[in-house]
Amino acid sequence: MFCPKCGSILMPKVVDGKKVIQCSCGYKSGETEKLKLTENIGNGKKQKFAVAEPEKEEETMPKTKAECPKCGNREAYFWEVQTRAGDEPPTKFLKCVKCKHTWRDYS
């Protein structure tokens, strides 16, 4: 499934104890209790796969020096997503280590 706001792939997450599909731009769908996380492995067989917990996901993300526009903290996690055409540069997303505010960096 793709985000109706930015077109990125929606990823399953657990937010406030509920399973939702969420985008890196902040868009969230409703509950997805009936969503089955499976992958086709050939011959009509499917295999379940695990999704990383949101809290543990941040531990593996790289950090950079960037000032949070919300709280002023000077350290943030970052990742890049190709949100536009392939010949355009990727969009850099940042998430404050302290307050968890997420913003985009277009530079």
Concerning whether 88 is annotated as a catalytic residue, the answer is: yes
- Measured at the CA of 8, the angle between CA 7 and CA 14, to 5 degrees, comes to 125
Q: Which of 16, 39, 59, 87 is catalytic?
A: 87
Concerning whether 105 is annotated as a catalytic residue, the answer is: no
**Cβ(14)–Cβ(37) below 8 Å:** no
* Cα 105 → chain centroid: 15
* Residue whose C-alpha is closest to residue 79's, from 68, 64, 69, 100: 64
Q: Which of 57, 80, 88, 105 is catalytic?
A: 88
Residue spans of alpha helices (H) in the chain: 54-59
Task: Please identify every residue annotated as catalytic.
Answer: 87-88
